[in-house]
């Protein structure tokens, strides 16, 4: 079995035959649904397909989680007004009933669920060892739970498909309740955990582990309408006794040379190169510039892609003095504008500056950008090997602190909170509160797509985002009067219109 299944080739579908009978319509080397799900290799290749939609959640997550929150905004650029409106609607809370990123995330989740269901249905009758069956079932149930958790936290009560769809009748499923979706997530994870390994050697393979499943299960217990903090505490306690540990240097956490390291609980896997396995998300976070060389070590035009997920000045200013995470997470591109108009002209980058105490020089234009994922020089434009972090041990520590505070066990929460602060170069706190745990999560996990769901899970979303919206409308006159209309309905996104048209049993979420 190969070490990292994410990069196995699925080229077996292109096998050719040298049969003497060239009229044979079913050559033995042809792969069909009736001949494929037979061997261990077949099921591991099918698992590759079930992992693949994770990659399609990264970009929508940047818009729907990080930029939906108070962490980041976008750089106004007049030529983008038409093409970029579908993104700006999310960020400035002028939601439309249909948005490309919102739809793509929904479809990616269900693509993963469909592939997982096919594996589970074919696994029952496969003539392979029980050990392999258990391994495949564990990973597949984890993935299905992951996709449904992503759906329920972003779209509410969605249809539950738990079997392979084989006919028209089984395609048209009505909405389940939020409670029912969470119950299925929890059931799948409890089925997966006994069949998943504990991470024992590092770097890991990139596959799901017992720690990843327990992390997701804890988040499900802490996010469902009726919170179950005691059960979540037990799952997080198990993670504390596994082999995870914080890396000594915060910057090393995101270095692609350290992928799947001891702090990593689960990552979305990418690989730099010409074979289509690369990531490109950093380019969307970089400035609009005709030459990215000062940042990436590669000359590339980033005018069409860049300008998104820009760290807010309030976030930059909120880092405590001495916090080592600031300069690792954010840098500032300083330069000039060819035409002098920031709404129309890309930046010519002259210097890369640290953000702490930054004061722009007269006549210079500046652009804060997310730097924690930048590790050039790169060989190809829009092509990096940066993985996307999903769960980290630091996340688990802070989630445990949050859990204990929610139970009134503030003294017990303090060591978990301070362990993360120590790595950041900060003094210990004397007391753990929900506010300072959330604040620590904001800075530790900045730009990892956690802030929005953190605010929702802790009941802070409407309060925080309403105040943030008022500040942003004062700062940016181009924002429309109806922007940042933060309501309960807007805490989840709309079901795609196309699905509503195809499936008459499906109901739209309230307010859309």
Q: Are 251 and 261 in contact (CB under 8 A)?
A: no
Cβ neighbours for 213, distance < 8 A, ≥ 6 positions apart: 138, 142, 145, 189, 192, 193, 196
Q: With contact defined as beta carbons under 8 Å apart, do 62 and 309 qualify?
A: yes
| Residue 15 and residue 87 in contact, taking contact as beta carbons nearer than 8 Å | no
Q: State the pLDDT at residue 30.
A: 53
User: Are the beta carbons of 47 and 139 closer than 8 angstroms?
Assistant: yes
Among 214, 220, 206, CA closest to 55: 206
At 108-153, the pLDDT tens digits run 999 999 999 999 999 988 999 999 999 999 999 999 999 999 999 9
Q: How far apart are CA 14 and CA 290, in angstroms?
A: 40
pLDDT band at 36 (very low <50, low <70, confident <90, very high): confident
Dihedral sign for Cα atoms in the order 124, 128, 131, 132:
negative
Assess whether pLDDT exceeds 70 at residue 11: no
Q: What are phi and psi of 368, to 5 degrees?
A: -65, 140
Q: Using the structure block, give the residue that is written with the tokens 């995330």.
A: 105
For residues 487 and 88, the answer to whether their CB atoms sit within 8 Å is no
- 3-state SS, 232-277, equals HHHHHHHHHCCCCCCCCCHHHHHCHHHCCCCCEEEEECCCCCCCCC
Spacing of C-alpha 86 from chain mean position = 19
Instruction: Kindly report the pTM of this predicted structure.
Output: 0.93
Query: How are beta strands 72-73 and 347-353 bridged, if at all?
Result: unpaired
Q: Do 339 and 345 contact (CB within 8 A), yes or no?
A: yes
Per-residue pLDDT tens for 59-104?
Answer: 999 999 999 999 999 998 888 765 567 788 899 999 877 788 999 9
Mean pLDDT of 183-207: 97
Query: Which residue from 508, 414, 403, 472 is spatially nearest to 96, judged by alpha carbons?
Result: 508
Question: What is the model's pLDDT at position 77?
Answer: 87
Number of H helices, E strands in the chain: 19, 7
Positive or negative torsion for Cα 59, 64, 65, 71: positive
pLDDT per position as a tens digit, 397-444: 999 999 999 999 999 999 999 999 999 999 999 999 999 999 999 999
Q: Chain centroid to CA 367: how far?
A: 24
Residue 310: which H helix or E strand, with range?
A: strand 310-311
Closest CA to 472 of 3, 80, 88: 88
Query: What confidence tier does 297 reach under pLDDT thresholds 50, 70, 90?
Result: very high
Per DSSP (E only), the strands in 338-485 are 347-353, 365-370, 388-392
In sequence order, the 6+-apart residues with CB closer than 8 A to the CB of 273 are 380, 383, 385
DSSP category for residue 384: B
CA distances from 413 to 274, 301, 417 (A): 46, 47, 7
**Are the CB atoms for 511 and 490 separated by under 8 Å?**
yes
Read off the pLDDT of residues 272-293 as tens digits, 9 standing for 90 and up. Answer: 999 999 999 999 999 999 999 9
Specify the 3-state DSSP secondary structure of 337. Answer: strand
Q: Which of 457, 445, 449, 324 is nearest to 396 (CA)?
A: 445
Residue 450, pLDDT > 60, answer yes
Q: Are 303 and 332 in contact (CB under 8 A)?
A: no
pLDDT tens per residue across span 239-267: 999 999 999 999 999 999 999 999 999 99
Cis bond leading into 502, ω under 30°? no
Please give the full DSSP string across 493-511, using - where no structure is assigned. PPPPHHHHHH-TT--PPTT
List, for residues 345-366, the tens digit of each pLDDT value. 999 999 999 999 999 889 899 9
* Residues belonging to the chain: 512
Which two three-digit tokens encode residue 51?
Answer: 């992992």
d(Cα 282, Cα 392) in Å, to the nearest integer? 20
Average pLDDT, the chain: 92
């Amino acid at each position: 079995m190969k070490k990292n299944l994410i990069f196995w080739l699925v080229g077996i579908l292109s096998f050719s035959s040298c049969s003497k009978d060239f009229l044979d319509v079913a050559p033995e080397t042809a792969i069909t649904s009736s001949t494929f799900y037979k061997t261990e290799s077949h099921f591991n290749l099918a698992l590759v397909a079930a992992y693949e939609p994770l990659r399609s959640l990264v970009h929508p997550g940047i818009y729907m989680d990080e930029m939906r929150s108070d962490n980041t905004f976008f750089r106004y650029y007049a030529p983008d007004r038409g093409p970029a409106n579908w993104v700006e609607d999310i960020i400035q809370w002028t939601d439309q009933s249909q948005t490309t990123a919102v739809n793509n995330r929904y479809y990616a989740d269900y693509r993963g669920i469909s592939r997982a269901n096919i594996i589970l249905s074919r696994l029952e009758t496969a003539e392979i060892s029980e050990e392999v069956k258990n391994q495949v079932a564990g990973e597949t149930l984890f993935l299905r739970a992951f996709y449904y958790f992503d759906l329920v936290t972003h779209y509410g009560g969605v249809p539950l498909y738990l079997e392979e769809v084989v006919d028209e009748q089984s395609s048209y499923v009505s909405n389940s309740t939020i409670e029912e979706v969470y119950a299925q997530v929890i059931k799948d994870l409890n089925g997966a955990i006994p069949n998943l390994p504990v991470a024992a050697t590092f770097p890991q393979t990139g596959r799901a582990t017992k720690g990843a499943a327990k992390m997701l299960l804890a988040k499900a217990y802490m996010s469902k309408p009726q919170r179950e903090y005691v059960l979540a505490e037990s799952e997080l306690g198990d993670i504390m006794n596994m082999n995870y540990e914080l890396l000594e240097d915060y910057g090393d956490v995101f270095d692609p040379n350290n992928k799947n390291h001891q702090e990593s609980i689960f990552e979305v896997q990418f690989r730099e190169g010409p074979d289509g396995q690369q990531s490109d998300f950093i380019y969307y976070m970089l400035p609009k510039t005709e030459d990215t060389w000062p940042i990436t070590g590669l000359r590339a035009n980033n005018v069409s892609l860049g300008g998104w997920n820009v760290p807010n000045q309030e976030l930059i200013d909120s880092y405590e003095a001495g916090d080592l995470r600031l300069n690792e997470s954010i840098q500032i591109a300083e330069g000039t504008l060819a035409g002098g108009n920031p709404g129309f002209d890309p930046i010519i980058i002259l210097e890369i500056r640290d953000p702490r105490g930054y004061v722009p020089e007269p006549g210079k234009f500046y652009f804060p950008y997310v730097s924690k994922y930048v590790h050039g020089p790169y060989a190809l434009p829009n092509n990096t090997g940066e993985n996307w972090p999903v769960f980290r041990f630091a996340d688990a520590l802070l989630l445990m602190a949050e859990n204990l505070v929610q139970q009134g066990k503030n003294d017990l929460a303090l060591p978990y909170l301070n362990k993360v602060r120590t790595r950041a170069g900060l003094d210990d706190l004397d007391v753990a509160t929900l506010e300072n745990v959330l604040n620590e999560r904001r800075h530790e996990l900045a730009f990892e797509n956690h802030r929005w769901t953190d605010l929702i899970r802790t009941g802070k979303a409407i309060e925080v985002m309403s105040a943030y919206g008022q500040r942003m409308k004062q700062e940016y006159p181009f924002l429309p009067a109806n922007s940042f209309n933060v309501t309960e309905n807007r805490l989840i996104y709309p079901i795609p219109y196309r699905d509503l048209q195809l499936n008459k049993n499906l109901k739209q979420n309230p307010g859309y």
